[in-house]
Structure 1
Amino acid sequence: MTRNQIDGFTLIELIAVIVLISIVSLSASSYFSGISSVSAQTLETELLRSLRLTQTRAMNRNGYCNRWLINENRAQQVSLDKETECATSFPGAQRNNEYLENQDLTYVAILEKQNAYFALQIGNQYKTLATPFAFDFDVMGRIKQCQNTSCEILITAKTQTKICIEKEGYIHAC
């Protein structure tokens, strides 16, 4: 008996090649897009990390200032070592264009060239963030400004995403 041999690819080989090509193309596209833009999801992750760190500090450091400030292009916990008189502005030693040089883990900034910004909604009311807006955490991890209604931080870049802060302090992507 002779066996007819057909040259070609099996279905598994074809699927494997397609998967490998898609992985390479995703890697290459992020390389060629450059840093002229920033992902809203990346900023969302950084803001969540910063907010949760400030919240954890507030629950473990009773009697200290646990304030987190946000404006259109920057967010950060301020007055870490103060017991009273929390700052209402960002530290002067850090500028908006400094990002990787800052040692504070709660520091999140958008570089001017990245065409992204933060916005804030408390209940149905939008707040302009031309000046820093303060979130004050209590010892239970709740934010004083969000105890009567939920708050949302809107992050706009090439796409838009938001972070929700519930009345009882739960901070999550929504």
Structure 2
Amino acid sequence: MKKSQHGFTLVELVTIIILIGILAVNVLPTFDGSASYEAHSHRAQLISALRLTQQRAMQQTDPDAVAADQPYCHQVIFDKALNVARYGVPNRLDCSVISFAGWQPDATGFEVDKKYQVSFDIDGKANPSAVTFDSMGRPIANASLSLANNCLGGCTINVHSSVETLKIRIESEGYIHAI
């Protein structure tokens, strides 16, 4: 009499489970859309822009300009107009400029495409907001904005997407990091 075998061996079952695990790790994140990826990439770009502005503040300390009360402006402004979130340095010579009229994105600025629904704020306050650095790389107050919209003494910058909120922390002594 012949015995028939039905089912899978243990090796076959383990192999299938491993293949399903590999597919799940590689395929499932694509069903979330690109919003999560966009938030992470914008957070990384924003950290780079903040660090660049901070380094410029620490390197461009012209004593003649400071004595003449015309030092460079080392700040990053956050704004949202016409449903477009943006950040950048609208004017390096005048810290009272907090609008982006005529501004073109550069190494310290970016304009988010509307389709990604990414926005920024400092400690949950309404924009415009600003992070201004002194010659030691520490966040200070911008006289053109209320104290609530500044990063004086450290702050948390929120990067909002339709999927999650990512955070960037600027400590009172100038350390910038993702949390």
- Tell me the TM-score normalised to structure 2 length: 0.67
Superposition pairs for residues 63-74 of structure 1, below 5 Å? 63=62, 64-72=72-80, 73-74=85-86
Give deviations 1:139-160, integer Å, cap 9, x for gaps: 111111234x331112211211
1:9 is displaced (CA, Å) by 2.9
Structure 1 residue 141 and structure 2 residue 141: aligned? no
Count of residues in Structure 1 that have an aligned counterpart in Structure 2 = 148
Distance 1:77 1:93, change over 3 A: closer
CA RMSD across the alignment: 2.9
Residue 115 of structure 2 corresponds to which residue in structure 1?
A: 113
**Alpha-carbon spacing, 1:136–1:23, altered in 2? closer, same or farther (3 Å):** same
1:49 aligns with 2:58: no
Residue 127 of structure 1: aligned partner: 125
> Which residue identity lines up with residue 92 of structure 1 in the other structure?
G
SS at match of 1:46: helix
Q: Deviations over 1:60-112 (max 9, x none)?
A: 111422121112311112334x3xx2332225143xxxxxxx4x122122222
Per residue, is there more helix in 1 or in 2? Answer: 2
Among candidates 21, 28, 31, match of residue 29 of structure 1:
31
**What does residue 156 of structure 1 align with?**
160
Larger Rg: 2
Q: Where in structure 1 are there 5+ consecutive unaligned residues?
A: 1-5, 95-101
Distance change in 2, residues 1:111/1:16 (3 Å): same
Q: SS of the counterpart of 2:135?
A: coil
In the superposition, the TM-score normalised over structure 1's length comes to 0.68
1:6-63 Cα deviation digits (max 9, x unpaired):
9663687456524432344147536xx3x57764322221211111111111111114
